[in-house]
Amino acid sequence: MTDNAADRGFAARRLLGEDVIWIADAMLSASKGDVAAGVGPLVLASFLSRIVYEGRDVLTSDDPHVGVPRLAKLLTDENSDAVARARHAVKLLDDTHKTFHTFREDMRTYWIGQRAMLHENVPKWAHSLAPDLGVFSLHGHVIGATVPLQVRFDIPGRLDGAGGRTFNEFGVTLGSQLTVYSPFAGGPKALRSTLDLRPLEGITQDDYMVEDFLDDRYDPAIDIEAKLLLLLVEQDVNTVAHVLPLSRCGHEPAEFRARLVSTWHALTSLSEILDAYPNAKASSTVRVRAFLRSPAVRGFLDDRKTSAVRNRFVHYVIHPNVPLALDRADVTGSIITSVHPTHTADSLNQITDDLVAELSALFGQWRYGYVPLSTGH
């Protein structure tokens, strides 16, 4: 194994190629189902957004081992809005240009804006009967909700109207970018459907009033806008816990990287939201806070080397200052052992699985006054 510019270029291109094949397979396979074809792109779009946004840095890099000028020329200005929207989707609460309070106000703006549109042709006396939140669930786990999704992708308007058309155009543009990146994946023919995503046909959609759906959810000391942010975190956690594993077969490294990055962002976002509400002390909230303080979570978030691994999984281009002893047959594993020698892909994979499983269960129990069944311990 060596550490040189050629290896860094190989690693960047290989990571991008693996991610492109994975997300293309997931999207195409989901599109085969009657239900999944409509919901799958919504819940997978944030992963596609990250790949498109970070992939652009690979193509446009000045490093001849990384950048590909002939492909970079295909990234025309018409893609700029979609890429900017993708960046917005990826950053969320990690966006250094936006504070938690800004996102909280965004939630209110989109929620009130959608409600106004929904009520345009509804008599005033019937406003309380017109739902303003669509919720997508898989076996009882929330994997998507309309208002949080609209904030994530900066899409005003109803998702079954102008907003939906905007989202579809956004998705088509990002999808076209994958074909630009396809040489790293073996060419356009490598972007094909191989996954069995029939379990996604179990997705259900229900409509609610925002206040009704969130009434007993989370904590009474948390306002509606922050609850909508928590709903966004919850849907991400459940997507990672219950949807991504269905896309694992044949794409293990890419799915693992996506799962680790998303789990990290969910934990940090959840911590930031709860820090803003120190008076939130319902019994179920206390259990969530205890989980966030647990050695497992703190060891995951506070370990600088684990943080460095997460950075490498987010950004394809590897800076020369980052140690890298590359095994070209196992790019993901060698990145981990180069940055964090005490871990392997298997050990971090298990840690990530355990954390997201417990967090998904906690979200499912996060109700006012919820009392878990005794375990006998």
Residue ranges per structural domain of the chain? 5-365
Residue 67: count of CB within 10 angstroms of its CB = 19
pLDDT band, residue 167 (cuts 50/70/90): low
- What's the CA gap between 181 and 103, in Å, rounded? 32
Residue 61 has pLDDT above 50, yes or no: yes
CA separation, residue 345 to residues 13, 61, 297, 351 (Å): 19, 28, 18, 10
Task: State percent of the chain over pLDDT 90.
Answer: 53
Residue range 167-175: mean pLDDT, rounded:
70
| Mean pLDDT of all residues in 90-108 | 74
What pLDDT is attached to residue 123?
A: 62
The overall average pLDDT reported for the chain is 85
Please tell me the predicted confidence (pLDDT) of residue 53.
Answer: 85
Query: What does the alpha-carbon distance between residue 185 and residue 17 come to, in Å, rounded to a whole number?
Result: 4
**Over 60: is that where the pLDDT of 202 sits?**
yes
Take residue 340 and report the two structure tokens written for it: 């964090």
Distance CA 49, CA 289 (A): 30
CA atoms within 13 A on the CB side of 154: 14
Q: Taking the model in full, what pTM does it have?
A: 0.89
Contact by Cβ (8 Å): 154, 85: yes
Q: What pLDDT was estimated at residue 38?
A: 73
Q: Is the pLDDT of residue 239 over 60?
A: yes
Contact indicator for 172, 78 with CB cutoff of 8 Å: no
Mean pLDDT over 213-219 rounds to 92
Residue 96 is predicted with a pLDDT of 62
Tell me the per-residue pLDDT of 297-350, one tens digit each, with 9 for 90 and over.
999 999 999 999 999 999 999 988 888 888 999 999 999 999 999 999 999 999
d(CA 171, CA 177): 10
Confidence band, pLDDT 50/70/90 cuts, at residue 79: low
pLDDT for 165: 62
Compute the average pLDDT of residues 54-62.
92
pLDDT at 375: 43
Full DSSP string of 42-97: HHHHHHHHHHHHHHHHHHT-S-TTT--HHHHTTS-GGGHHHHHHHHHHHHGGG-TT
In terms of Cβ atoms closer than 10 Å to its own Cβ (0-12, 13-18, 19+), residue 62 is exposed
Residue 46: which of 247, 235, 303 has the closest Cα?
A: 235
Determine the pLDDT at residue 195: 94
% of the chain with per-residue pLDDT over 70? 82
Confidence at residue 321, expressed as pLDDT on a 0 to 100 scale: 84
Cβ-based neighbour number of residue 203 at 10 Å: 21
Distances (CA, A) of 368 to 98, 141, 281: 30, 18, 10
HEC string of 212-279 equals HHHCCECCCCCCHHHHHHHHHHHHHHHHHHHCHHHHCCCCHHHHHHHHHHHHHHHHHHHHHHHHCCCC
Quote the CA–CA distance of 235 and 76 in Å, as a whole number.
33
CA dist., res. 353 & res. 27, Å (int): 22
Mean pLDDT of 142-165: 73
User: What is the dihedral angle through the alpha carbons of 360, 365, 367, 368, rounded to the nearest 10 degrees?
Assistant: -140
88 vs 306 pLDDT, higher one: 306
**pLDDT tops 50 at residue 283:** yes
Predicted pLDDT of residue 223: 93
Note the pLDDT of residue 127: 53
Q: Which amino acid is at 30?
A: A
| CB-based contact 202:40 (threshold 8 Å) | no
Please state which of the ranges 49-58, 169-178, 260-269, 358-367 shows the lowest mean pLDDT.
169-178
Quick one: pLDDT band at residue 129, thresholds 50, 70, 90?
low
Distance separating alpha carbons of residues 250 and 256, to the nearest angstrom: 12
**Alpha carbons 170 and 166: distance in angstroms, whole number:** 6
Dist. CA 290–CA 284, nearest whole Å: 10
